[in-house]
Chains A and B, each alone.
Chain A
Amino acid sequence: MLDRRCRSRRSLPPLCPASREMSQKSERRGIHVDQSELLCKKGCGYYGNAAWQGLCSKCWREEYQRARQKQIQEDWVLAEKLQREEEAAYASSQGVQQPQPSLAPFSKFEEKKTNEKTRKVTTVKKFFSPSSRTAPKKAPSERVEKVSGVRERHGETLLRDLRGMFAQPWEMVAPTEESHEGKTPSPSISRQSSIETDRVSRDFVDFLKNLQKPGREIHKQCRAFIESMANKKDLGADEQSECVQDFYQNMSDRLMTHFKGSSERVERVMDQVEKYIMTRLYKNVFCPETTDDEKKDLATQNRIRALHWVTIQMLCVPVDEEIPEVSDNVVKAITDVIEMDSKRVPRDKLACITRCSKHIFNAIKITKKEPASADDFLPTLIYIVLKANPPRLQSNIQYITRFCNPSRLMTGEDGYYFTNLCCAVAFIEKLDAQSLNLSPEDFERYMSGQASPRRQEPQAWPQAGPSSSPGLSQVYQSLDLLAGLGARQERVLEGARTLESDLISWQESVEREVQEILEKYPLEIRRPASAIDSDNVENDRLPPPLQPQVFAG
């Protein structure tokens, strides 16, 4: 193909040394092209080609090879750098601040790099396959031996390592792209990560340190998972939940085999994994925009606000807040359930609910002097939720349901209290007159704010105003009633008076009218023009009147 192209070009000298004969031929024909322009730019004496940037085939091949080699080299360097950074971040958190010497032979970097890439896109399950475990090997223990003494001298590396750690939450927000270039995030971005996130990361790494090799593996997989989740931001909440639950499942299965079935140890590690992962994912998966969690939050909040009038008696709550110890527990329970919103890890949120529940049990126990059963507990929890109106209640419940370790949620004590909280919320949503033993009319009046049941027992709601005194409000009501009655009586009297005057004037006007009419048309009694019997002139002309006749028959 090469040669053919040369020939077609007005029989110019061939460009490659390989076809020397032809080049000589064309020289002889003496075509007017400056020879120097056609020669290889390398100055090797052969002709070059524009397609090869003015080089001859041999020089081009060399040049091309070199450039490619250089690029490969650069790729390797980049891969190495990335690898080192990750190692360093891990090492620093393990208490060793040495920049990591390359652990594997150079040839392995390509493989590592591709590993790194695939890791970002493949599913979690992949990470559990043994191949991804080959890279780190016995690195951590080696490192510890080598460099444990040089900690202080490496302030700079420490700084970088810390930056590496701080970069994690940011990576979560804007994934992979920049980390490929090995840049550290800008300070303004890294500042976004809260102190809590960093503390959790450090705790997590500290915890994993004790686990040696599996610890390293767990750390890697968690990070990979967080990165993969960052790419799934657009997924619905249910899919995200599924991803996290899958990850929990796979991780605990793996740990189960590793710890040879010791479920306590597995659970301990899983707690840490949950803490680490959910602290990082929190921002993206709590009350996501893809759901209507926020709307539900507002609805519940307004609902609870509208139910401010519900009393202890209506709910049959066996708690007497007159006793200082009881009201103390009630206040603590309220604080705990409100505090739930400030936690990030599902387990911590659950712990708040559990603490709240324990305070409720205490309050009931002190009041009733016997342990509380569910029949006592649930109403009290409802009452506490109504009084606390915890922020973002629905979001929190949804978040826990989606992202908590299911074994804890389904069976354990935490799960029991959480279920009760769900029941309480469901009850509050559906609450009607019947569920408070009220008549529908009363319920409506309380809901619309026209009346308040508080006057029956002002103690239950100490924040209620002075109107809550029953006697006083009754006096006010009576006064209002009296004032109303007086006004109505006045109106009746006035009406009567106007009616009277109306009647009088009406009578007068009628009389006047009658008088006027009488005057206008005076009564004249004229004699009739002719009487029937007198002056009847032509009487004689009339036939005689008919006489009754008697017929004999």
Chain B
Amino acid sequence: MSSHRVDAKVVMLGKESVGKTSLVERFVHHRFLVGPYQNTIGAAFVAKPVQVGDKVVTLGIWDTAGSERYEAMSRIYYRGAKAAIVCYDLTDSSSFLRVRFWVKELQNCEEHCKIYLCGTKNDLVEADRSVRQVDYHDVQDFADEIKAQLFETSSKTGANVDKLFQKVAVDFNSTAFQVLTEEKGVDLGQKKDAYFYSCCHH
């Protein structure tokens, strides 16, 4: 339970049924599930270690309820999050409207939270271009504007999924690294001091 340490909190945001859970499922278990399966108890919270260079960053991925009736509470979810993956369905333009809402919320409440936009169900679009309802370039412009990264993924084929989470882990590592090294330096010094002190008094 508490055995696996989690380094970074990553929240999944997005309208109901855009495929947040599938995305996480694909990333964690490398599978796309149709129909009944019994192996996992729930996909609402997962902790997944990601290799970044010679380090391992454990992402704690928080699934959130996307239904509009819980919109008022979404703030509680992303408190303290290091990254937010805001999902929308490439074949559903209404799902992208909600993206703007979450991005605004995040910018207001969690300025240290990095935003990643994620268009899901790319496999459907690739199979039939006409079902695409959200234009790639429009979203790219929006992403540039809010300084976010954009990924179009397919949980069914696995396209771009690992890339997305890898990017999240790398970004976290690079920002956390500076802070960590600074702290480490101070800590070492303190320890030395303490050691000397106890020696002298002896």
Contacts and interface: CB of A to CB of B under 8 A. Distances in A.
A408 interface: yes
B73 A361 contact: no
Contact of A354 (B1, B72, B76, B77): B1
Interface residues on A, range: 35 or more
A416 interface: yes
Interface in B1-41: 1-2, 4-9, 12, 16-17, 20-21, 25, 33, 35-38, 40-41
A370 B22 CA distance: 12
Given A412-B6, A416-B45, A427-B70, A370 B76 contact: no
B35 to A, nearest CB: 8
A263 B2 CA distance: 13
B117 to A, nearest CB: 19
A426 B76 contact: yes
A131 B8 CA distance: 37
Given A130-B197, A413-B1, A423-B70, A371 B60 contact: no
A369 B65 contact: no
Interface in A411-430: 411-417, 419-420, 422-423, 426-427, 430
A68 interface: no
Nearest to B47: A413
A452 B58 CA distance: 49
B202 interface: yes
Interface in A510-536: none
Contact of A365 (B42, B60, B73, B76): B42
Interface residues on B, range: 35 or more
B152 interface: no
Contacts of A351: 1
Given A423-B70, A423-B77, A426-B72, A377 B41 contact: no
Interface stretch (B95-103, B159-167, B188-196): B188-196
Contact of A379 (B17, B65, B80, B187): B65
B132 to A, nearest CB: 24
A341 interface: no
B38 A131 contact: no
A389 interface: no
A362 interface: yes
A310 interface: no
Contacts of B89: none
B76 A422 contact: yes
A377 B7 CA distance: 24
A374 interface: yes
Q: Report which residue of A137, A377, A422, A434 has the largest number of chain B beta carbons within 10 angstroms of its beta carbon.
A: A377
A464 to B, nearest CB: 25
A391 B106 CA distance: 33
B49 interface: no
Nearest to A361: B42
Nearest to A424: B73
A414 B9 CA distance: 12
Contacts of A416: 44-45, 60, 62
Given A253-B187, A373-B20, A416-B60, A411 B42 contact: no
Contacts of B4: 412
A410 interface: yes
Contact of A423 (B1, B73, B193): B73
Contacts of A408: 2
Query: In terms of DSSP, what is the predominant structure of the interface of chain A?
Result: helix
B187 to A, nearest CB: 5
A430 B70 CA distance: 10
Q: Report which residue of A130, A267, A415, A416 has the largest number of chain B beta carbons within 10 angstroms of its beta carbon.
A: A416
A257 interface: yes
Contacts of B65: 374-375, 377-379, 423
Given A372-B43, A414-B2, A422-B76, A257 B67 contact: no
B114 to A, nearest CB: 15
B55 to A, nearest CB: 13
B1 to A, nearest CB: 6
A375 B66 contact: yes
Contacts of A423: 65, 70, 73, 76-77
B198 interface: yes
A320 to B, nearest CB: 15
B42 A372 contact: yes
Nearest to B82: A411
A263 B5 contact: yes
A430 B201 contact: no
B122 interface: no
A183 interface: no
A358 interface: yes
A361 B42 CA distance: 6
A364 interface: yes
Interface in B155-202: 187-188, 190-191, 193-194, 197-198, 201-202
A238 B40 CA distance: 39
A423 B73 CA distance: 6
B45 to A, nearest CB: 4
Given A253-B187, A411-B60, 10 more contacts: A253-B190, A267-B5, A365-B41, A371-B43, A373-B20, A374-B65, A375-B21, A411-B7, A413-B60, A426-B72
18 contacts: A130-B198, A253-B190, A256-B187, A257-B187, A267-B5, A361-B41, A365-B38, A365-B42, A369-B36, A373-B44, A375-B66, A410-B80, A411-B7, A411-B9, A413-B47, A414-B2, A416-B44, A423-B70
